[in-house]
Structure 1
Amino acid sequence: MTLACPTARAFLARPCSAHPAPLDFAVVGLNHQTAPVEVRERAAVRASDEAAILAHLSRHAAEVMLLSTCNRTEVYLAGLRGDPVRAFEDAWGDALDDYLYVYRGDAAVTHLYRVAAGLDSLVVGETQIQGQVKRAWQAAHEHNPGGRLLNKVAQGALAAGKRVRSETGLSDRVVSVSGAAVELAQAALGDLASRTALILGAGETAELTLTHLRAAGVRDVVVVNRTEARARQLAEKVGGRVCAAEYLHEVLPEADVVIASSAAPHYVLHGEGVRAALGRRPERDMFLIDISVPRILDPNIADVAGAHLYNLDDLTAIVSRNLQSRRAALPHAEAIIREAVADLSRWHLTREAQLGRQRRELAVASA
């Protein structure tokens, strides 16, 4: 009989109850609201480490998704085995529980849906997070193609995020972190048309930053990246000069504003390098904005006379001002999220009812 197979025995072993099992889904993580940048960078994930972290987390849950951005590191778990906080801290080998939040069931679903919609971002309504959630889900799917619950929740989150953006106008004239960095440079320097900007990095955020700089009137942009080919590709796409990373200190004296947006395991620019650059441009200050996590501009740059160093946390005031124009759209956005979470809850209840009916039918057949 087929009932002798392990899968059927395990299926029948599940308790039959008049009440459906709660949604076995949880999230544990930290973000810009719970942890300063110096803590967030301790939990940052390099692309080369993602597969190993997913494998480690898989010891604690049947399905795992890892979402890591400049402002958050979160682990989504379905089929959890044990304590989610321990799972997180074991993966990073660091005691971070003072900064972590944990949500379970519908609350975890709601959190992911709000994240995908940009409602939990430093810049509410930003669009970059949608692609980041999608890539996190794709990586999770490659790691475990059979993860049905996680796939359902992640697809629902992406659909909810798309609805929020298309139906509420929340993302109209959206200000990204890159845009806020450029706005900070404008506040410090005034008209940027005659200024030289130096971009450290050549990825997606660097491209967005360069686009904002162009929109702000900057004509002279230098793109510096450790892979010169990538820097050239970005410079040709958006416009700008190219500089190989080994010549950074030679071109640095030209820069009025430096925006760092790159992944590196160490600081790429230190106080002594900035001091030397300022010595070659007397009476002209330099503004440096580090939107990388981990940071790649040494904090000791702030001690250099004439150097003005900012990081992600310093963008909060700009972001708060820009939020005012979007507040009217928030109630509609939150209503869409509640509706989408309710849809997921109904799917779960229907699925549990079907499983319960199948268990009862198998129990009768085996009697």
Structure 2
Amino acid sequence: MTLACPTGRALLARSHVALPVALDFVVVGLNHQTAPVEVRERAAVRAGEEAAVLAHLSRFAREVMLLATCNRTEVYLAGLRGDPRAVFGDAWGADLQEHLYVHRGEAAAAHLYRVAAGLGSLVIGETQIQGQVKRAWQLSRELGLSGTVLNKVAQGALAAGKRVRTETALADRVVSVSSVAVELAQAALGGLTGRTALILGAGETAELTLTHLRAAGVDDVIVVNRTAERARALAERLGGRACAAELLHEALPAADVVIASSAAPHYVLHPQGVAAALEGRLGRPMFLIDISVPRILDPDIGRVPGAFLYNLDDLTAIVSRNLASRRAALPHAEAIVREGVSDLARWNLTREAQRALRAGRELAAASD
């Protein structure tokens, strides 16, 4: 019996049977829901290190984006070669494995859509994450690590995030980790009117913190930063006074509340320094809130009599209370995310169908 060689038309038909439709996209990472702050800080990425980390990760995938914030470190990959957990472990250590989550395909895209919309944040609906996602994607593009898939997913995530903020009640009250930290300080001190606050840091989060402190009635804000020029610029712009980093301990006794939001590579304040500052406060307590990751306030400060130390994980109670007023908006926000992911799935299906059609035509041409 002679077996007939399949024609180009038959090969084309077969290509449709084996049509790949899964979105080639993966996310692996950890966040405040899967890892406490002492674990998250081990996977933190310091300012200026992002490009080097991306270069390392690019050995394992065609497209790579790194999203590192105070509450998450996530790697988004297209064209991945190997196991995503192993890729993360190669960059930050295998001992973090139990805290990692992995999502693939449309589930990975939905994760980024929710993140960009603020639905995966410690403070639900916070707005700072939108800019962080945008900057993460832009850096990948600048380094040539964002291609067809990552560009499409990132653009869709940013569009979904914008829709959630403009179309739902989640945008009724702008909130952030900074605003929750200030709310915690208000509760601890029974109000901030007439108080003195000291901010460690002069970046975006520090600027937000200063804005919220002023709105809460703080009269005197001291800005301390390693770069004196940045501290001075922030203080002059929003109303405050700058302090050189080497004079921190001289300024500390005046502070009723200290909020740390810097990316220093080590602890900048230790128990001994806080104890000395409290001696000059004549029995008045000091409240310290560390919203940095890695933390820059030595955790042992909490053992100093008169010092009350909080970190990001301690903000949970306030976040839960604020979330109660936002729950009604969550179904609409989730619906926007689902709609965006459905659009992405249709785009991917069309793209894969076109790719299979081209492959079938090439096979048909080769067999004629």
TM-score by structure 2 length? 0.94
Q: Any stretches of 5+ residues in structure 1 without a counterpart?
A: 1-11
Q: Once the 2 structures are TM-superposed, how far is the Cα of residue 360 of structure 1 from its aligned partner?
A: 1.0
Instruction: Give the AA of the match of 1:152.
Output: K
Query: Which residue in the other structure is 1:157 paired with?
Result: 157
Secondary structure (helix, strand or coil) at the match of 2:213 reads: helix
SS at 2:310 equivalent = strand
Aligned counterpart, 1:5: none
The count of corresponding residues between Structure 1 and Structure 2 is 355
Q: Give 2:196's aligned residue.
A: 196
- How far apart in 2 are the matches of 1:168 and 1:97? 36
Matched, 1:86 2:86: yes
8 Å Cα contact 1:71-1:122 kept in structure 2: yes
For residue 151 of structure 1, give the secondary structure of its aligned residue in structure 2. Answer: helix
Residue in structure 2 matched with residue 8 of structure 1 by the alignment: none
Structure 2 CA distance, aligned partners of 1:280 and 1:47?
Answer: 35
Instruction: Give the 4+ runs in structure 1 shifted more than 3 A.
Output: 15-19
Matches for 1:170-319 after TM superposition, within 5 Å: 170-319=170-319
Look up the match of 1:330.
Answer: 330
Instruction: Give the drift of 1:59.
Output: 1.2
Name 1:19's counterpart in structure 2.
19
Deviations 1:179-217 (A, max 9, x none): 111011111111211110000000000000000001100
* Equivalent position of 2:105 in the other structure: 105
Instruction: Please name the residue that 1:73 is paired with.
Output: 73
Equivalent residues of 1:198, 1:259 under 8 A apart: yes
Change in Cα spacing, 1:306 to 1:145, as seen in structure 2 (3 Å) is: closer
8 Å contact kept, 1:175–1:322: no
Amino acid corresponding to residue 346 of structure 1 in structure 2: R
Describe how 1:55-74 pairs up with structure 2 within 5 A. Answer: 55-74=55-74
**Larger relative CO (CA 8 A, sep 6+): 1 or 2?**
2
State the alpha-carbon separation in 2 of the partners of residues 174 and 99 from structure 1. 30
Whether contact under 8 Å (2:228, 2:242) holds in the other structure is: yes
Kept in 2, the 8 Å contact 1:67–1:133? The answer is: yes
- Distance, in Å, in 2 between the alignment partners of 1:153 and 1:293 is 27
Residues 274 and 301 of structure 2 are in contact (CA less than 8 Å); yes or no, is this contact kept in structure 1? yes
Tell me what 2:6 maps to: none
2:152 partner SS? helix
Q: Which amino acid aligns with 2:208?
A: L
Does the 8 Å CA contact 1:65/1:140 hold for their aligned counterparts?
A: yes
Which piece of structure 1 moves more, 342-351 or 84-93? 84-93
Consecutive unaligned residues in structure 2, runs of 5 or more = 1-11
The CA deviation string for residues 15-43 of structure 1, in whole angstroms up to 9 with x for no partner, is: 76443331110000000000000000000
2:359 is the alignment partner of 1:359: yes
Aligned to 1:137: 137
Shift of 1:99: 0.2
SS at match of 1:124: coil
What is the RMSD of the two structures over their aligned residues, measured on CA atoms?
1.4
Deviation, structure 1 residue 146:
5.7
Counterpart AA for 1:176: S
Q: Distance in 2 between matches of 1:182 and 1:265?
A: 24
Query: Taking every aligned residue pair, what percent have the same amino acid on both sides?
Result: 75
Alignment of 1:21-60 (within 5 A): 21-60=21-60
CA–CA distance in structure 1, aligned partners of residues 210 and 183 of structure 2: 13
Q: What do the CA deviations read for 1:118-164 (whole angstroms, capped 9, x no partner)?
A: 00000000000000000000011112266110011000000000001
- C-alpha displacement at 1:174, in angstroms? 2.6
Deviation, structure 1 residue 245: 0.2
CA contact (8 A) 2:65 2:146 kept: no
Once the two structures are TM-superposed, the CA of residue 361 in structure 1 deviates from its matched residue by 1.1
Q: TM-score, normalised by structure 1?
A: 0.95
**Bigger CA drift: 330-339 or 171-180?**
171-180
Could you say what secondary structure the match of 1:80 adopts? coil
